[in-house]
Amino acid sequence: MSFPIICIFLLLSSFSHAAVQDFCVADYTVPDGPAGYACKKPVKVTVDDFVFSGLGIAGNTSNIIKAAVTPAFAAQFPGLNGLGISTARLDLAVGGVIPFHTHPGASEVLIVVQGTICAGFISSDNTVYLKSLKKGDIMVFPQGLLHFQVNAGGTPSLAFVSFSSPSPGLQLVDYALFKNDLSTDLIVATTFLDRAQVKKLKGVLGGTN
Amino acid sequence: MSFPIICIFLLLSSFSHAAVQDFCVADYTVPDGPAGYACKKPVKVTVDDFVFSGLGIAGNTSNIIKAAVTPAFAAQFPGLNGLGISTARLDLAVGGVIPFHTHPGASEVLIVVQGTICAGFISSDNTVYLKSLKKGDIMVFPQGLLHFQVNAGGTPSLAFVSFSSPSPGLQLVDYALFKNDLSTDLIVATTFLDRAQVKKLKGVLGGTN
Amino acid sequence: MSFPIICIFLLLSSFSHAAVQDFCVADYTVPDGPAGYACKKPVKVTVDDFVFSGLGIAGNTSNIIKAAVTPAFAAQFPGLNGLGISTARLDLAVGGVIPFHTHPGASEVLIVVQGTICAGFISSDNTVYLKSLKKGDIMVFPQGLLHFQVNAGGTPSLAFVSFSSPSPGLQLVDYALFKNDLSTDLIVATTFLDRAQVKKLKGVLGGTN
Amino acid sequence: MSFPIICIFLLLSSFSHAAVQDFCVADYTVPDGPAGYACKKPVKVTVDDFVFSGLGIAGNTSNIIKAAVTPAFAAQFPGLNGLGISTARLDLAVGGVIPFHTHPGASEVLIVVQGTICAGFISSDNTVYLKSLKKGDIMVFPQGLLHFQVNAGGTPSLAFVSFSSPSPGLQLVDYALFKNDLSTDLIVATTFLDRAQVKKLKGVLGGTN
Amino acid sequence: MSFPIICIFLLLSSFSHAAVQDFCVADYTVPDGPAGYACKKPVKVTVDDFVFSGLGIAGNTSNIIKAAVTPAFAAQFPGLNGLGISTARLDLAVGGVIPFHTHPGASEVLIVVQGTICAGFISSDNTVYLKSLKKGDIMVFPQGLLHFQVNAGGTPSLAFVSFSSPSPGLQLVDYALFKNDLSTDLIVATTFLDRAQVKKLKGVLGGTN
Amino acid sequence: MSFPIICIFLLLSSFSHAAVQDFCVADYTVPDGPAGYACKKPVKVTVDDFVFSGLGIAGNTSNIIKAAVTPAFAAQFPGLNGLGISTARLDLAVGGVIPFHTHPGASEVLIVVQGTICAGFISSDNTVYLKSLKKGDIMVFPQGLLHFQVNAGGTPSLAFVSFSSPSPGLQLVDYALFKNDLSTDLIVATTFLDRAQVKKLKGVLGGTN
């Protein structure tokens, strides 16, 4: 019976290297590349690399948007690296809003777990796709398009969102325009907004120039 | 002021065609292709193509596995077509089990919304990655690997899963082996299982030969 | 010598089918799919399917933005279909502006052929990448990020842009917000803009509600 | 026991659609797209769509190159469609040659099953990678690079090649230059070849002009 | 005549860097990433990186499955890295079996070189696709689906398989279930198998718990 | 008002990592991978990484082909790394020629900015697609196919080309055949060219053997 055993070991060892590519748990200590973070050595990988508990706690919604986004992207959740998917938690207090934003490299699916959410996206030909979503409804937001979510009820809302990329990114239009040192002149020229409006929002969001 | 208006229309019309590729809502009435279903004409698309309510209702768990999987894949949810993502609802009654299975073309992320779930996957080198997940925990299952979920508590569990493909597929090992007309001889030869065991499970699952 | 000749014909015929996949010239008359338009039969394809003359004529810049974008995307240029690339012409009169916009599914490279252009993009962490470009300079705008171009000189500017997709799409923030029937209440809630500002821009761009 | 049975049917039916995307057997009767041929309805698919017997017969090597290439690409083997792989049989008589060629969209792996083959490819920086391969040796030819195979022994050679695309294409440099109506003037101008050489090879391969 | 010579050198040098991306020969000494192993410096690459001789020797079939799989994946064959293809040798003694398994990230094409092989795969809807293959026949197994190969004749069989990935992985169902420390209780719960059957196979394959 | 401010910082910091994947500016000092060069740390990235001025200067056409190709590929232009696009400048003096060549991994779009260019490509079935292009015309060359460009007028021509890859590569047929140490015997055997012709061109281009 020793014969088979030996062979099975040989057979296995011949594949142990290939297993490297079953997954690629992120190693944040070395440079990353266009496809994602470098891979941790399989021998150092544990089940905890594939489990993330950060979405169990409600985000802090005591802020200007009365909302919070808690990401579980490859940058926070190493097991996702290279697997083409990620997720996040959305907390919307009463009156909470996730302002107009895009995910530069990913499509999004939203699942309402609690409350009512009014969500919408705009297509390249400026058509509005708008819907009021109740518990259990899901909505998809195609890649890169402008979209938003608003709490449409009198109670807090909770939703989980998933993305078609381990690092979908998040670009909030207001933050991109008003939360940096882009000059008021350039913003006025490239958005048609009034100078006073730009100055006001730079004040609220901490932008300069 | 008529000058600008005219031009804006020209400008827009020159892009109205490009919008075709913002999304590709599934048209189930014509042949599909390797990348997914054909696209519905944008003029016929409405917001309801991007919203799915089927995950709001608990699946029927009065069955042999005391569990139910309710998919929202491109085949059920046309707005997902071509967008690289899909989702499903998992209901696990007390003692409920999603038996060993794979998703041939996708990685999976599971979010526990209610109860406690014991989940695990096996890598190509036969290492076991096993974890007991509580409400709010998420776990990722790398593409194509064998995995399972079991209700680990005394109350029903609810989870939502997302996939890195609009059509991830689902292959249950038991159903693949015992729920068709694959001959008992071949199953015995290719699984090392005892003939009696194969016959018994074919009986339970409705397989023949 | 007839032997070889015969064989060469056989050899060739055995590959004539494979040529189908050298290219996939768009057939706009049948449904498209997630990967692009259906393919014209190779026998009907001519060199003119691979040549586009529309970028030789300056776009009409007598409009509100004093600029014009003339696309050569798969929707206008059938030979690009499925080939992962497209292009467009940018004409910027004195004072011309391509307002803040994104291309939902593509990265962009801009080549300045005439004049001086001030271009910039904003990253997900709200950093501004801004540069004044002269004739011959090129700049890359990473996929899906907000960016703009402004004529920075006293003479008209001309640029050609290329995209990493045959159908990159174009979403102008102002048009997405103000050139449709999205309600003023929702815009105010999701942009922090003042109601008067929203009403004013809806007036200029032809939006309602 | 009827309860479980019912549910299992429900469970299965809820996934029967998803199976559409397990594979996409080519339907040659409708237009194809950039990702490949349209999919045959799963109910019409049989195991014979996934099996191809054409590589069991030696190709006819009684020709000018004393060699034959028998393809099993998506155009000949419908089950390959959309699966990212294809294969072909190479027969090389004594003195047989597969002249310099490229596969525009695929990398190639060659497995020598009989005889000895001298194979080589050239990189973009004009480095030559050349090797004499014996039975059981394999060699990889990176995507799109010029390469060739020559029977290096005194007996016929047989090899199987696989490609990283279901439709890799095959472009023989000699056929591309001399087996069509491209004018001798243009060929001379774009190849540095002597006019007499061009005329001679056009004669051999049946080119005109 | 010195003028041209100089320029050609300039021209070449301006492209020498670009050649980096013709191929990416695996460097196993530094961390890999989601797209594969890091690239060896082109100057250190030789033709031997693109040639592999390990498939010329028959695998040792004196084992429990009377079969052997000899891989030429990116982990064994550095030249394949990043090229989307790999291959392996299958040796099946009389009565030899490659038990039910999947390749998590790849489709497979099998070419029978010697003997007769009975091969089959199961689709997501549990349909069986089964065929007896003779010398020269090829069969394709779509990505991630359960499949097997059995020697169907009275003589040893030899086959070569190719995969649509440089690191397709290999997951044998029996090894995944019975060749590790996954508890018997969990296996029974997630496979419907009898406890005695599980214990028996753990004993044969060296599993614990 | 301190509450909101605090939260916005938290919110931003939670995304600062995700921004890593907005772009991947090439770091040439560490090993690259199949998907491209490693990424520079975002904090070290400046706008100059996204701007390239090398295409503003005409290439030196005082050479054997009376033409010059100036690349802006990922190897020269770090900001392109991983973004699926690149570009180059073509200068064609009177009588200038870009000889037959391929880009192993990319499709190309050419834009004529000055002069007249005769361009053509050959498909896998040896069909010629030939066109005389004037200022403003664009032409697409599908991935991996043999093509060429010739100055068709009495004045210098200028064109910009874009590619569907950050590292498209460039393989000139004449250089691949005659500008290295590939033996004259092998070239004769694999091209059908006369020995004298091969020797002559090796002499012109600096090849040996």
CB contact under 8 A, C33 and D33: yes
Render pLDDT for C137-172 as a digit per residue (tens, 0 to 9).
999 999 999 999 999 999 999 999 999 999 999 999
Neighboring chain D residues of B70 at a CB cutoff of 8 Å = 14
Which pLDDT value is given to residue E209?
86
Which pLDDT value is given to residue C21?
76
Neighboring chain B residues of C169 at a CB cutoff of 8 Å = 18-19, 21-22
For the whole prediction, is pTM greater than 0.90? Answer: yes
- Mutate one of D188, D191, D202, D208 to test the F interface: name it (highest F CB count within 10 A): D191
C-alpha distances in angstroms, B1 versus A192, C18, C64, C203?
Answer: 16, 55, 9, 12
Instruction: State which residue of chain F sits closest to D99, comparing Cα positions.
Output: F190
Mean pLDDT within F145-165: 97
Mean pLDDT, chain D, integer: 90
Neighboring chain A residues of E62 at a CB cutoff of 8 Å = 3-4, 7
Confidence of residue F5 (pLDDT cuts 50, 70, 90): very low
Which residues make beta-bridge pairs with A111?
Answer: A138, A160
Helix axes F195-205, F184-191, angle to 10 degrees: 120
Residue F39 contacts E where some CB pair is shorter than 8 Å: no
Amino acid code (one letter) for C50: F
Least confident piece of the model among C10-24, C190-204, E52-66 = C10-24
Mean pLDDT within C17-45: 87
Burial of A199 (0-12, 13-18, 19+ CB in 10 A): middle
CB contact under 8 A, A175 and C126: yes
Mean pLDDT, chain F, integer: 90
| The Cα angle at residue B26 between residues B22 and B27, in degrees rounded to 5 | 120
CB contact under 8 A, D11 and B68: yes
Length of chain C: 209
Render pLDDT for A114-137 as a digit per residue (tens, 0 to 9).
999 999 999 999 999 999 999 999
CB contact under 8 A, C118 and A186: yes
Which pLDDT value is given to residue D121?
98
Mean pLDDT, chain A, integer: 90
Q: Subunits touching A (CB < 8 Å, at least 3 pairs)?
A: B, C, E, F
- Cα–Cα distance, A79 to D185 (Å, whole number): 60
- Cα–Cα distance, C14 to D200 (Å, whole number): 25
Confidence of residue F209 (pLDDT cuts 50, 70, 90): confident
- Given a cut of 70, whether residue B81 has pLDDT beyond it is yes
Which pLDDT value is given to residue F11?
38
> CB of B201 within 8 A of CB of B177?
yes
Which of D59, D61, D78 shows the shortest CA–CA distance to D161? D59
Q: Who among E32, E34, E75 is closest to A18 (CB)? A: E75
CA distance, residue D44 to nearest chain B CA (Å): 13
Which pLDDT value is given to residue A13?
35
DSSP secondary structure, chain E, as one string: -HHHHHHHHHHHHHHHTGGGGG---EETTS--BTTBSEEPPGGG--GGGGEE-GGGSPP---STTSEEEEEESTTT-GGGTTSS-EEEEEEE-TT-EEEEEE-TT--EEEEEEES-EEEEEE-TT--EEEEEE-TT-EEEE-TT--EEEEE-SSS-EEEEEEESSSS---EEHHHHHHSS---HHHHHHHH---HHHHHHHHHHHT---
Mean pLDDT within C12-36: 74
Which pLDDT value is given to residue C207?
95
Render pLDDT for B112-152 as a digit per residue (tens, 0 to 9).
999 999 999 999 999 999 999 999 999 999 999 999 999 99
CB contact under 8 A, B21 and C167: yes
> CB of B143 within 8 A of CB of B105?
yes
Report how far Cα D81 is from the mean position of its chain's Cα atoms.
13
- Cα–Cα distance, F7 to F12 (Å, whole number): 8
Q: How many CB pairs under 8 A join A and B?
A: 168
Least confident piece of the model among E22-26, E176-180, F15-19 = F15-19
Residue D160 contacts F where some CB pair is shorter than 8 Å: no
Which pLDDT value is given to residue A166?
96
> CB of B133 within 8 A of CB of B118?
yes
Render pLDDT for E134-176 as a digit per residue (tens, 0 to 9).
999 999 999 999 999 999 999 999 999 999 999 999 999 999 9
Which pLDDT value is given to residue D207?
95
CB contact under 8 A, B34 and D32: no
Which pLDDT value is given to residue F105?
84
Confidence of residue C105 (pLDDT cuts 50, 70, 90): confident
Listed in sequence order, the residues at least 6 apart from A209 whose beta carbon sits closer than 8 Å to its beta carbon are A181, A182, A183, A184, A202
Q: Who among B124, B150, B180 is closest to E190 (CB)? A: B150
- Cα–Cα distance, F48 to D193 (Å, whole number): 44
- Given a cut of 80, whether residue B18 has pLDDT beyond it is no
Render pLDDT for D40-68 as a digit per residue (tens, 0 to 9).
999 999 999 999 999 999 999 999 999 99
- Cα–Cα distance, F120 to F110 (Å, whole number): 11
Looking at per-residue confidence, does E37 or D10 come out higher? E37
- Given a cut of 80, whether residue B2 has pLDDT beyond it is no
C-alpha distances in angstroms, F178 versus E29, E142, F148?
Answer: 36, 43, 18
Looking at per-residue confidence, does A16 or F78 come out higher? F78
- Cα–Cα distance, E179 to E203 (Å, whole number): 9
In D, residues 165-204, which contact E (CB 8 Å cutoff)? none
- Cα–Cα distance, C111 to C103 (Å, whole number): 17
CA distance, residue B138 to nearest chain D CA (Å): 24
* Cβ neighbours of F164 (radius 10 Å): 27
Neighboring chain E residues of B193 at a CB cutoff of 8 Å = 193, 197, 201
CB contact under 8 A, E144 and B180: no
- Mutate one of C45, C76, C77, C124 to test the F interface: name it (highest F CB count within 10 A): C124
**Which residues of E participate in the annotated binding site?**
101, 103, 108, 147
- Given a cut of 90, whether residue A89 has pLDDT beyond it is yes
- Cα–Cα distance, E66 to E60 (Å, whole number): 8
Which residues make beta-bridge pairs with A157?
Answer: A92
CB contact under 8 A, D72 and E133: no
- Given a cut of 50, whether residue F6 has pLDDT beyond it is no
* Cβ neighbours of A4 (radius 10 Å): 17
Which of D79, A144, F143, F139 shows the shortest CA–CA distance to C82? F143
Which pLDDT value is given to residue D120?
97
Query: Per 3-state DSSP, what percentage of chain C is helix, strand, and coil (rounded to 5)?
Result: 30, 30, 40
- Given a cut of 60, whether residue B13 has pLDDT beyond it is no
- Given a cut of 50, whether residue A11 has pLDDT beyond it is no
- Cα–Cα distance, F101 to D124 (Å, whole number): 10
| The Cα angle at residue A152 between residues A149 and A154, in degrees rounded to 5 | 135
- Mutate one of B20, B24, B63, B179 to test the D interface: name it (highest D CB count within 10 A): B63
Amino acid code (one letter) for A6: I
Which of E205, E208, E177 shows the shortest CA–CA distance to E192? E177
Which of D160, D150, D162, D161 shows the shortest CA–CA distance to D92? D150
Which pLDDT value is given to residue F21?
76
Which pLDDT value is given to residue A69?
97
Which pLDDT value is given to residue F2?
31
Mean pLDDT within F75-100: 97
Mean pLDDT within F118-131: 96
> CB of C94 within 8 A of CB of C158?
no
Which pLDDT value is given to residue C100?
97
Helices (H), chain D: 2-16, 173-178, 184-191, 195-205
Listed in sequence order, the residues at least 6 apart from C43 whose beta carbon sits closer than 8 Å to its beta carbon are none
Instruction: State which residue of chain C sits closest to F89, comparing Cα positions.
Output: C136
Which of A12, B1, A137 shows the shortest CA–CA distance to E170? A12
- Mutate one of D112, D138, D148 to test the E interface: name it (highest E CB count within 10 A): D138
Neighboring chain D residues of E141 at a CB cutoff of 8 Å = 50
- Given a cut of 90, whether residue E17 has pLDDT beyond it is no
Any idea which residue has 């399972």 for tokens?
Answer: B148
- Cα–Cα distance, D127 to E183 (Å, whole number): 55
- Given a cut of 90, whether residue A21 has pLDDT beyond it is no
> CB of F105 within 8 A of CB of F91?
no
Which pLDDT value is given to residue E21?
75
Render pLDDT for B162-192 as a digit per residue (tens, 0 to 9).
999 999 999 999 999 999 999 999 999 999 9
Residue D136 contacts E where some CB pair is shorter than 8 Å: yes
Instruction: State which residue of chain A sits closest to E69, comparing Cα positions.
Output: A11
- DSSP classification of residue C47: G
Length of chain B: 209
> CB of B91 within 8 A of CB of B61?
yes
CB contact under 8 A, F140 and C15: no
Sheet holding A108-114, edge to edge: A67-72, A86-92, A157-163, A108-114, A138-141, B51-52
- Cα–Cα distance, C181 to C183 (Å, whole number): 6
Torsion of Cα atoms, D167 then D171 then D175 then D176, to 10°: 110
- DSSP classification of residue D136: T
CB contact under 8 A, F144 and D174: no
Q: Who among E7, E17, E22 is closest to F62 (CB)? A: E7
The phi, psi pair for F184, rounded to 5°, reads -55, -40
Which pLDDT value is given to residue D209?
86
Neighboring chain F residues of E81 at a CB cutoff of 8 Å = 34
CA distance, residue E10 to nearest chain A CA (Å): 30
Q: Who among B127, B169, B181 is closest to E180 (CB)? A: B127
Render pLDDT for F54-67 as a digit per residue (tens, 0 to 9).
999 999 999 999 99
Residue D33 contacts B where some CB pair is shorter than 8 Å: yes
- Given a cut of 70, whether residue E16 has pLDDT beyond it is no
Which of C135, C140, C129 shows the shortest CA–CA distance to C163? C140
Mean pLDDT within D10-24: 52
- Given a cut of 80, whether residue C36 has pLDDT beyond it is yes
Which pLDDT value is given to residue C16?
38
- Given a cut of 60, whether residue C202 has pLDDT beyond it is yes
